């Protein structure tokens, strides 16, 4: 009886050693006698040692930092650029069979692509069109990794570093641009004010009565302020108007 129990225990342990767990976010690439046989779905799977082997592949989206890359722009300015690339495996068998280490390969491809694209554009384009440049990098890397069963979801440029002297030059240019805009805005305001004054002058010259009314209004406004003595030049037409009113009043009294 004991030999039977021992044999059954041995068989049970042996069978347990044949079992492999594939998680929900994984796929298994199974090889039988060295040849690809199937893609294993999540769950407990039986793998016969010696005759079979299985490589697990994580199918989740991965974020890979692309380290600092020194490059020279089209206008011969040295810059340091880094980025992050997001990708996931679509075909586990191709990711294992077609490339030795797809993680390393994707990172290296992203680095070389980023350097090449930076060399094709100017510094102004690099600073102003990050999203467009990121999309170009993504498209190129995505096409190149398609045969590996990899899908590149997104690429983001994180930082663009310039030499210290170049940063100072750009800061001076930005300050000069702000001053130029301020001068333009001030000049435009002065032109608009001059146009309004000229327009008002034309309106008053076309209507003498309006000019007299404006003068009287100004006198009335200043009369309420007792703290100052104001010498005001009254137009001769107004004095004549007051004189005529006085004469009419005297005649009526007589």
Confidence at residue 246, expressed as pLDDT on a 0 to 100 scale? 52
Confidence at residue 111, expressed as pLDDT on a 0 to 100 scale? 93
Confidence at residue 141, expressed as pLDDT on a 0 to 100 scale? 95
Residues 6+ apart with CB under 8 A from 121: 73, 74, 129, 133
Q: Which residues pair with 43 in a beta bridge?
A: 22
Per domain, the residue ranges of the chain are: 16-58, 62-162, 165-223+233-240
Confidence at residue 13, expressed as pLDDT on a 0 to 100 scale? 72
Confidence at residue 60, expressed as pLDDT on a 0 to 100 scale? 95
Confidence at residue 229, expressed as pLDDT on a 0 to 100 scale? 62
What distance lies between CA 78 and its chain's CA centroid? 22
Confidence at residue 94, expressed as pLDDT on a 0 to 100 scale? 95
The low-confidence residues of the chain, meaning pLDDT below 50, are none
DSSP 8-state class, residue 251: H
CA dihedral (84, 90, 93, 94) positive or negative: negative
Confidence at residue 150, expressed as pLDDT on a 0 to 100 scale? 95
* CB distance 148 to 94 below 8 Å: yes
Helix (H) / strand (E) element for 227: namely none
Confidence at residue 209, expressed as pLDDT on a 0 to 100 scale? 56
- What CA–CA distance (Å, rounded) separates 49 from 55? 13
Confidence at residue 40, expressed as pLDDT on a 0 to 100 scale? 92
**Domain covering 62-162 in this structure, CATH number:** 3.30.479.30
What distance lies between CA 28 and its chain's CA centroid? 39
CA dihedral (187, 189, 192, 194) positive or negative: negative
> Which tens digits make up the pLDDT trace of 126-175?
888 999 999 999 999 999 999 999 999 999 998 888 877 665 666 566 55
């Amino acid at each position: 009886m004991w030999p039977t129990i021992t044999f059954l225990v041995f068989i049970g342990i042996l069978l347990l050693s044949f079992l492999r767990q594939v998680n929900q976010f994984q796929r298994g690439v199974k090889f039988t006698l060295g040849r690809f046989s199937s893609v294993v779905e999540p769950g407990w799977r039986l793998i016969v040692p010696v005759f079979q082997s299985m490589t697990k592949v994580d199918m989740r989206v991965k974020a890979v930092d692309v380290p600092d890359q020194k490059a020279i722009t089209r206008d011969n300015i040295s810059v340091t650029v880094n980025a992050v690339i997001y990708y996931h495996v679509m075909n586990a068998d191709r990711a294992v069979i077609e490339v030795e280490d797809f993680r390393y390969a994707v990172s290296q491809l992203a680095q070389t692509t980023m350097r090449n694209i930076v060399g094709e554009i100017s510094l102004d384009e690099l600073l102003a069109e990050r999203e467009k440049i990121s999309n170009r990098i993504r498209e190129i890397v995505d096409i190149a990794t398609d045969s590996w069963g990899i899908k590149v979801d997104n690429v983001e440029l994180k930082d663009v570093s310039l030499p210290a002297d170049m940063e100072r030059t750009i800061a001076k240019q930005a300050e000069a641009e702000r001053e130029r805009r301020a001068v333009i805005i001030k000049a435009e305001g002065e032109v608009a004010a001059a146009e309004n004054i000229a327009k008002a002058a034309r309106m008053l010259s076309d209507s003498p009565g309006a000019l007299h009314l404006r003068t009287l209004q100004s006198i009335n406004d200043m009369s309420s302020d007792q703290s100052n003595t104001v010498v005001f030049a009254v137009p001769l037409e107004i004095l004549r108007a007051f004189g005529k009113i006085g004469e009419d009043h005297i005649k009526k009294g007589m």
